[in-house]
Structures are given as C-alpha cells and as structure tokens.
Amino acid sequence: MKDKKLDINEIFYSIDGEGITAGQIAIFIRLNSCNLRCSYCDTSYALEAKNNYIDFDHIFDIINQYPSKNITITGGEPLYQQGIIDFIEQLSKRGYRVNIETNGSISVKGLIHIDKTIITLDIKTPYSNMDQENLYENLNYLRGNDVCKFVVGSIEDLEFTYKIIDKYKPKSQIFLSPVYNSIDTADIVEFMKIKGYDNVKLQLQIHKYIWDPDKRGV
C-alpha cells in the first residue's frame, strides 16, 4: 500500500545547512512532489511525483547504515505524501530526532504531539509568488523548539515578514533566510537592526558556501 511507502527522491548523509539544526550531521530524506511552485525553488528536480516508492522497512535499512540519529525530511513537500505522519512516528519510536521541513501550505497539527520532532515551517513571502498559499493557522501550532522561516528576496519581503510576526507572534524560533544572490545580506542586517527584535535571527545556507550551490546530495 502506498501509505506504507514514500516516493523518495534521494537519501544522503551530510550536514544540515540551515535552521536550528544548522551545522550538525544528519541523514537527509528528500521526498518527491510539491504542491507549490516558488520563484526561487532550488530543488526543482523534486517538484514532480516520480513514483519511486520505497517501503518504510527498506528506508529504515538504508538510514541504519549511518551512525547519526538526526533525520532531516525535506522535499518537494513532505506533508503532501500519504503516510508521512506514520513514518515520522516510527522514526521517533526508533530514537531518531526528526526535523521536517514544510512549505507552510499544509496543516502541521498532526506533527506537534510526536516526540523528538522539529517543525521547520516556511511562511511564503511575496517574492516567492506563493504567499497566497500560506496556511496561517499553522503558526498557532508551532512550539518553542520549532522554526518559522521566512525566505526573503527584497525589502518588501522583510516588511511583509515583520507584519506577520507582529500579527501572529509565533512561539517558535524565527529565521530570515536570504534568497541566494537576490538580496544583499547586509541590507537584511540593517533592517533587523532598525526593527530591533531579539527573537529574529539571520540564517545563511551554509551548504551553499561549502559546496557548489547547485550540487546535489550534500
């Protein structure tokens, strides 16, 4: 049954490049298929379904080859696949710490009671051309160890971001992530200094500085 399988794009072992787990070793599970088409997407190879279904047991056999207990699930859009909640629950029961990266358009409510999970939730900004797809009720579900991430490509995006922060006051960590080569990072810092919010952090995608920005499997 497909709900006991996942459409897998790639599984690899590297460091986490962004967010609250940046810099730590992790096993990456990238799923195929996404319901959004962001202007800055850097994983277009995972946007469409590939029907490369791998059953849970086989996935566990693969990840058991690695010494780390950190898992990052990304996409595509992981929550777009049936069975993902069950899969994460099984990972948690096996002692894995799971960071799931989601685009913010699908409810995360089913994740919040699973032990050893981090939700890294995008709120889409105008630069993405997908901001109309934000499911803002998700901000009510985020916990202190979760991340609310805003990918920003312009000053307009920064203004939008702070309006959302002021309106919803998420309890999670809050990160600003620049669209690669689209906005001067120093301009983001200056904007942050003017606002003076102590709970907002700048993040850079460190894997794009270690390896070629288009390199896969890292």
Q: Check whether 43 is labelled as a binding-site residue.
A: yes
Q: Check whether 42 is labelled as a binding-site residue.
A: yes
pLDDT tens digit sequence for 29-51: 999 999 999 999 989 999 999 99
Q: Check whether 15 is labelled as a binding-site residue.
A: yes
pLDDT tens digit sequence for 141-189: 999 999 999 999 999 999 999 999 999 999 999 999 999 888 999 999 9
Distance separating alpha carbons of residues 128 and 124, to the nearest angstrom: 6
| Confidence at residue 205, expressed as pLDDT on a 0 to 100 scale | 74
- The three-state secondary structure class of 72 is strand
Distance separating alpha carbons of residues 73 and 132, to the nearest angstrom: 24
Q: Check whether 16 is labelled as a binding-site residue.
A: yes
Question: What value does the mean pLDDT take over residues 57-79?
Answer: 97
Q: How is domain 5-210 classified at the CATH fold level?
A: TIM Barrel (3.20.20)
Question: What value does the mean pLDDT take over residues 62-82?
Answer: 97
